[in-house]
Amino acid sequence: MKAIILNLSAWVILPFMDTIAKYLSAELSFFQITWARYFFTVVWTLPFIFFFFRKNLTWSQNPKLQILRGLTLFSANICFFYSISIISMAKALTLAFVAPLVTTVLSPIFLEERVGVKRWIAVVIGFIGSLVVIRPGIIEFNLATVAALGTGCFYGVYLIITRKLHSTDNPLLTLLITGIAGATVSSLLVPIVWVNPTNMQWIWLSIMGIFACLGHILLIYSLKYADASKLAPFGYFEIITNIILGYFFFKDFPDIWTFLGLAIIISSGFYIFRNELNLR
């Protein structure tokens, strides 16, 4: 029960980060917002680790893989922050939910896991769900929807790498390296789009980093009490907070097709995770 509470708390908190990002995207570049997400994540994570966990940390056994993981999540964040600057948070997140399906597709290649016919069918059904949301040829198919799908693809790769690192590296070290990798790369490029934030915008950017840091720390702690595969389906709970915040702050509410596509994607994802549990 403790693991579920911690995990659900994380998925309640993280959409607040997305809401701030969408709000600020009206005046700041999505890339600058992405930089701030990582910069302030490192700012808040470093003292937390230093004061409470520095004795338990050992250097990574897979530093290259850690950096690749950080760059993959960074790419996912760029895609997602761009997409929500154009389309609703609910639609973007629904399309990003293809991540578990991407993980399933890639797991035979990178994890040497066996994927049966039923799981392949679930992947196809999940992809159909994303087509229901996009409805190509019926509504405008823009770069923002492609970016939202890109979020799911990058995050699916991120999950693959996370599985490889889970048994070897300290999760808090993983969180810190992920933040440093994203902050370093974005710092090299952000001057191109830099706009001096106002004092209030700096405050919001800092708060966004707090939500990111707190959400991921809660996710890490939840994994201390339960396996990742058992907690993974609770990630879909994020859409509830996402819809509420999107409607409250931006008057965005998903249409019936988005809800239908969401139901199809979630159903296929649940089937895949249940099948994984049965194989353990």
Question: Tens-of-pLDDT digits for all 280 residues of the chain?
Answer: 777 788 889 889 999 999 999 999 999 999 999 999 999 989 888 887 777 666 766 777 778 888 898 899 999 999 999 999 998 898 888 888 888 778 778 877 776 667 667 777 777 777 777 777 776 555 566 889 999 999 989 988 887 887 776 666 677 777 888 889 999 999 999 999 999 999 999 999 999 999 998 888 888 778 677 666 566 677 777 888 888 898 889 988 888 888 888 888 888 777 766 666 555 5
Query: Residue 13: in which H helix or E strand, if any?
Result: helix 2-24
List the beta bridge partners of residue 22.
Answer: none
Amino acid identity at 70: G
Tokens found for residue 114: 């066996």
**Of 97, 93, 113, which Cα lies nearest the Cα of 105?**
113
pTM of the complete model: 0.86
Instruction: Return the half-sphere exposure (C-beta side, CA atoms, 13 A cut-off) of residue 90.
Output: 26
Q: Which residue has the tokens 């994994």?
A: 223
Q: Which residue has the tokens 């035979």?
A: 108
In this structure, are residues 187 and 39 in contact, taking their beta carbons and an 8 Å threshold? yes
| Whole-number pLDDT of residue 174 | 78
Distance of alpha carbon 226 from alpha carbon 50, whole angstroms: 25
| Whole-number pLDDT of residue 226 | 67
Distance of alpha carbon 3 from alpha carbon 33, whole angstroms: 31
